[in-house]
Structure 1
Amino acid sequence: MDPRRVLTFRAVAHERSFSAAARALSLTQPAVSQQVAALERELGARLLDREHAMALTPAGEVLLAHADAIAERFALAERQLAELAVPPRLRIGAFPSALAALVPRAVARLGAAAGEPPSARAAGALGEVILEEGTTPELADRVGRGELHLALGFQDATLERREHDGVERRDLLQETFLVALPPGHRLAALDAIPLTALAEERWIAPSGNNLIARACAAAGFEMQLSMVSRDPLANRGVIAAGLAVTLVPRLGADGFHGLELRPIEGEGPRRDVYALLPRGGRHPQAEDAWDALVEVASAFG
């Protein structure tokens, strides 16, 4: 198949119009129509139903999925080739607790390895590395499109291993959780707290169907969710006021200073933290950043 014809068909399929596709591609309408017709002859199948608003035929639906993938790879190749000429700032994405604990330390190590003096290291990190927050699916998608050069994601360690289309996954560490209690809580006298001791407590968590909820269910009770929040600062304030308890990932423990933090007695939840890198061309510092993350992660594993 001629890739140009495939991409021309893609434009028609998305625009549902030969004339609109021609304008988008800066071609004439007859040229677009001829390319699609030639592609259909080559494949021996109709791709578009011209009598019903240019709807896709079954063959057209199959080819469009491949055409979209081809267009995405061409766009990624164009971005990566442009970056070879003038390497851009290293763009790293991460979920909040990794962005607070792992990534800054890794960036500082990159500066140290480059021989930057401590006084210039922070400014160099901010000037040469862009840090962005996001959810794991969002970050994986942005790595795949070339918008980020490296990202950190996570998943519940008890679930089936998650892979992301178009990116490479590298496991970094397995993280455990701590119980976060209000100051002076009756259970704070314990060195470690069984989850069953929290069955009657009110909870704050990102949702009622996440890793924390599954850990409570595994311990034999349903979490009594009194507030839904993804903001660590808000969560700390609610707990400090004595209104709830929660489980805190070790990477985010520093953000819960002033609370009673205790290990979980017995089996508690765990999550796998991993890096995501694009397939194909990579930023010159991407592997160095990965090495720095491995060194920093050894303190948390």
Structure 2
Amino acid sequence: MDPHLLRTLVAVVEHRSFSAAARALGYTQSAVSQHIASLEADLGTKLVERRPVGPTGAGERLMEHAGPLLLRLDAARADIARLRAAPPTRLTLACTPAALTPSLAAALARVRRGAPGLAAGVRVLGPDAVVRAVLTGEADLGLVDGAAAPNDPLPLPDAGPMATVGVAEEPLAVLLPAGHPLAGRPALRLADLADAHWIDAPDTAVPLAQLRAAAHTDGFRPRLAYGGGDLAGLVRLVAAGHGLAATGLAAAAGQPGAVAVRISAPRLVHRTEAVHPRTPAEPVRALVEALGHTA
């Protein structure tokens, strides 16, 4: 299967338009049509409905494979490119909002003091986007956070050659409005919050699916969806009574209008992991080491 044709399919399905996909890919519309026709001929089935544009049942099934396949190809290209790359003069870090802590800022400052000519960049993304950025070479190091059992790794996608190392663990907490009846409790059981209203903020807080799995319940239904990556913005929504959210105790501390209460059961922690290539450059090694010292 030609990956160029697969990328064209993804663009057509995502844009729901042959012309928009052509503009996004830099192709002519006739070239896009030819790509889809060639892919359909290769697989012996129709993949895209033309009026209106959308995937067929077979197209939807192929789309489930397309993302991981194309990501793995991009990861392979980036991995080989690193082998012949010159020593880096820039360090690009991708991190989730709750991972952008004072400890990270201090660790990055320590690394830059040891390499005065090193330029640095920081991107705040959702956890899946952080992993993608590292795999494809858009970032040299990623930091992702989430809920896990103590000392257990986070459930990250296995999409290519990368290494992970835990750099911080802290109590998992639920964010409540300051006036909430449970805000004065020293700790709360996660299962007791299953029927509460929640904010679905997978890029900023612990995904609700992880809470359902941990509490063995189908609760934790969202009252509001939050697509931003700003932790302070999420806290403002919690403080205004739009719903609850789970994150690390330290990440939530000091946020006005909301109270962070530790989760006592089940035994879960808020864990932060560094994600990097298996053969990281020296600035990446130095930052991971500095994070270990400041955690």
For 2:183 and 2:281, the matched residues in 1 are separated by 47
| Corresponding residue for residue 229 of structure 1 | 226
For 1:149 and 1:255, the matched residues in 2 are separated by 31
| Corresponding residue for residue 61 of structure 2 | none
| Corresponding residue for residue 284 of structure 1 | 282
When residues 53 and 154 of structure 1 are mapped into structure 2, their CA distance, relative to the original with a 3 A threshold, is same
AA aligned to 2:128 is P
1:140 paired with 2:131, answer yes
State the number of aligned residues.
233
Q: TM-score scaled by structure 1?
A: 0.61
Q: Is the 8 A contact 2:190 2:263 kept in 1?
A: yes
Q: Is the 8 A contact 1:140 1:167 kept in 2?
A: no
AA aligned to 2:235 is R
1:193 paired with 2:192, answer no
AA aligned to 2:92 is R
When residues 293 and 226 of structure 1 are mapped into structure 2, their CA distance, relative to the original with a 3 A threshold, is same
1:178 paired with 2:183, answer no
For 1:11 and 1:196, the matched residues in 2 are separated by 45
Q: Is the 8 A contact 1:233 1:255 kept in 2?
A: no
Residue among 79, 82, 86 paired with 1:83: 86
AA aligned to 1:296 is T
Deviation string 1:149-176 (CA, Å, 9 cap, x unpaired) is 1111245426985444121222333443
- The answer to which structure has the higher strand fraction is 2
For 1:53 and 1:247, the matched residues in 2 are separated by 47
Query: How far has the Cα of 1:221 moved from its partner?
Result: 6.8
AA aligned to 2:122 is L
Q: Is the 8 A contact 1:13 1:56 kept in 2?
A: no
TM-align CA RMSD: 4.1
Q: Is the 8 A contact 1:178 1:250 kept in 2?
A: yes
| Corresponding residue for residue 149 of structure 1 | 140
Query: How far has the Cα of 1:130 moved from its partner?
Result: 0.8
Query: How far has the Cα of 1:226 moved from its partner?
Result: 1.3
Query: How far has the Cα of 1:111 moved from its partner?
Result: 3.6
Matches within 5 A, 1:27-46: none
AA aligned to 2:232 is L
| Corresponding residue for residue 99 of structure 1 | 100
Residue among 289, 292, 295 paired with 1:294: 292
Q: TM-score scaled by structure 2?
A: 0.62
Query: How far has the Cα of 1:190 moved from its partner?
Result: 2.0
For 1:193 and 1:113, the matched residues in 2 are separated by 43
1:252 paired with 2:251, answer yes
Query: How far has the Cα of 1:53 moved from its partner?
Result: 5.6
For 1:270 and 1:186, the matched residues in 2 are separated by 24
Q: Is the 8 A contact 1:97 1:251 kept in 2?
A: no
Residue among 121, 135, 149 paired with 1:130: 121
Give 5+ residue unaligned stretches, structure 1: 1-8, 16-51, 58-65, 117-123
Partner of 1:148: helix, strand, or coil?
Answer: coil
AA aligned to 1:262 is V
- The answer to which structure has the higher helix fraction is 1
Q: Is the 8 A contact 1:92 1:132 kept in 2?
A: yes
For 1:202 and 1:10, the matched residues in 2 are separated by 46
Deviation string 1:95-151 (CA, Å, 9 cap, x unpaired) is 11112444212112224555x7xxxxxxx8xx7211112233332233233222111
Q: Is the 8 A contact 1:101 1:252 kept in 2?
A: no
Q: Which has the larger radius of gyration?
A: 1
* Greater mean alpha carbon deviation, residues 205-214 or residues 90-99: 205-214
1:274 paired with 2:269, answer no
Query: How far has the Cα of 1:227 moved from its partner?
Result: 1.0
